[in-house]
Amino acid sequence: MVLLSLIATHSDVDLETVARLSAGAPKVPSSLLENGPAVAGAVVLATCNRFEVYCEARSEDDVEAARSAAIAEISRHSGLEEDLVSRSLTTNTGQEVAKHLFAVGAGLDSAVVGEREIAGQVRRALIEAQEEGTASGTLTRLFQTASRTAKDVGALTALGKRGLSIVSVALELATDLSEDIDWRNKAVVVFGTGAYAGATMALLKERGCTDIGVYSSSGRAESFTASRGGTALDGESLTAAVARADVVIGCSGSDNQVGADDIRRVREETERPLIIIDLALTHDFDPAVREVDGVELITLESVRLAAPAEQAESLQQANRIVSDAAKAFSEAQLSRELDSAIVALRRHTLSVLDKELEKVRAQHGCTGAGQEVEFAMRRMVKALLHVPAVRARELAANGGQDDYIRGLEAIYGITLDESPAKQSGAAAEPVPEEETGRSKSA
């Protein structure tokens, strides 16, 4: 099994392209497994400034087929041409897959470096894939390790103490643009009831804001405000709420975009300034609203440009944690692959041994001579297996596991897919310590 990822982020492509790639993102993993025989698992991570697909290919030879299948499914669900999808996505394989995801989960690849919201989005991406049945065992371990690494970065570096997020930087920008910087005096309308809306509500409350209306085109405002506070708005009350608002925050990504004429019409009887914060990947507000008199527009690009730079020492420490975690994960994966090979070799050898012992028992029965022969043969087999097991560990550490597996196939005719553990999906049986070169006295 081989991991690969296809990445499009704010660092490489414009946010509009990211948004277009993300259209239909929830459908990509299941359709990829249905239509891509080279793919054994898939998880999609789609946020306000990134679209990433993580896949497990069945072998090295299937990597290109898996990539092509992923591009085809993204194209089908987004409506974009395959050529554009291919050019927009960067492909990672091997250890780079883990290193990138761990950096993302730790907030090191975010528009606001060190932001904590992305860690929750990484966890939710895995949960959704598990619920859909598209997360393979390897991908599950990858995302779980990413979450643990994010916690380590937060606990061991200064990045976790800043408490920065895309929402917090956006609210700071709004404060700087306000005539009255006290949020206790502001009326706010929030569009959306998703993760960003929840984070927005929490940060508004921290700033003392109590006059918060929440609108959801999907009708979830009532349940959202019941647990988080604020006033649920419907289509009728929304107009009046926006008319008197000091700040409007878009977090929904709804298909019903608010245009400049809509804002002019609603605000025609007030001269109060209005700050619009648009955090939705597919804009809640037409960028032309910035042309309306008295309106200031804050976008994700505004947040990216305004995000404070982190201290070099904190970033270096965080990057070391991420690199070490990625290396450890990759080494563990290589060892896991070769554990199956060692078990297959052991099973093959013991099968041959059992056949020979049947001959001994048939000839000598349960006599002392027969027992001596059986003891000697088992000791010999154990000694013969020791060096191949040690060599497997050495090759795994140096990335030579494929050579080892091909050697087993060439010399013994052992193919891992034929092992009972593979066929049943059961975990590989443990490898005895004396066969791995890791004795208790070591």
- The type of residue at 197 is A
For the chain, 442 residues long, give each residue's pLDDT as a single digit of tens: 789 999 998 778 877 788 889 888 999 999 999 987 899 999 999 987 899 999 999 888 899 999 999 999 999 999 999 999 999 999 999 889 999 999 999 988 887 777 788 899 999 999 999 999 999 999 999 999 999 999 999 888 877 666 667 888 899 999 999 989 999 999 999 998 887 788 899 999 999 999 999 998 888 899 999 999 999 999 889 999 999 999 999 988 777 789 999 999 999 888 889 999 998 877 889 999 999 999 999 998 888 787 766 667 788 889 999 999 999 898 787 766 666 667 777 777 778 788 877 887 777 777 777 777 777 777 877 877 777 777 766 666 666 666 767 777 777 777 765 433 333 333 344 444 333 333 333 3
CATH 3.40.50.720 corresponds to the domain 166-300: yes
8 Å CB contact between 59 and 93 = no
- The domains of the chain are located at 2-162, 166-300, 324-436
**Residues, the chain, total?**
442
pLDDT at 440: 34
Binding residues for substrate: 47-50, 110, 115-117, 121
- Output the pLDDT for position 58: 87
pTM, 2 dp: 0.65
Tell me, what DSSP letter sits at residue 285?
Answer: B
Please list, in sequence order, all residues whose beta carbon lies within 8 angstroms of the beta carbon of residue 239, skipping any fewer than 6 positions away: 266
Q: At residue 432, what are phi and psi to the nearest 5 degrees?
A: -55, 150
Q: DSSP readout, 171-211?
A: HHHHHHH-SS--GGG-EEEEE--SHHHHHHHHHHHHTT--E
CA distances from 171 to 54, 94, 164, 179, 302 (A): 32, 39, 11, 14, 11
Amino acid at 165: S
Burial of 367 (0-12, 13-18, 19+ CB in 10 A): exposed
Q: How far is Cα 233 from Cα 103, in angstroms, rounded to an integer?
A: 38
Known catalytic residue at 48: yes
Contacts of 247 (CB under 8 A, 6+ apart): 174, 186, 187, 188, 189, 274, 275, 276, 277
| Options 48, 55, 209, 251, the catalytic residue | 48
pLDDT computed for residue 396 by the predictor: 61
DSSP H or E run through 7: strand 2-9
CATH 3.90.226.10 fits 2-162, yes or no: no
- Tokens 């400034």 sit at which residue? 49
Which of 198, 172, 175, 200 lies closest to 186 in space, CA to CA?
A: 175
pLDDT at position 298: 93
Question: Rounded to an integer, what is the distance from CA 40 to the centroid of its chain?
Answer: 16
The pLDDT value given to residue 68: 95
Q: Whole-angstrom Cα distance, residue 396 to residue 414? A: 18
How many other β-carbons are positioned within 10 Å of the β-carbon of residue 442?
7
Q: What amino acid occupies position 423?
A: Q
Are 42 and 5 in contact by the 8 Å Cβ rule? The answer is no
Quote the CA–CA distance of 56 and 33 in Å, as a whole number.
10
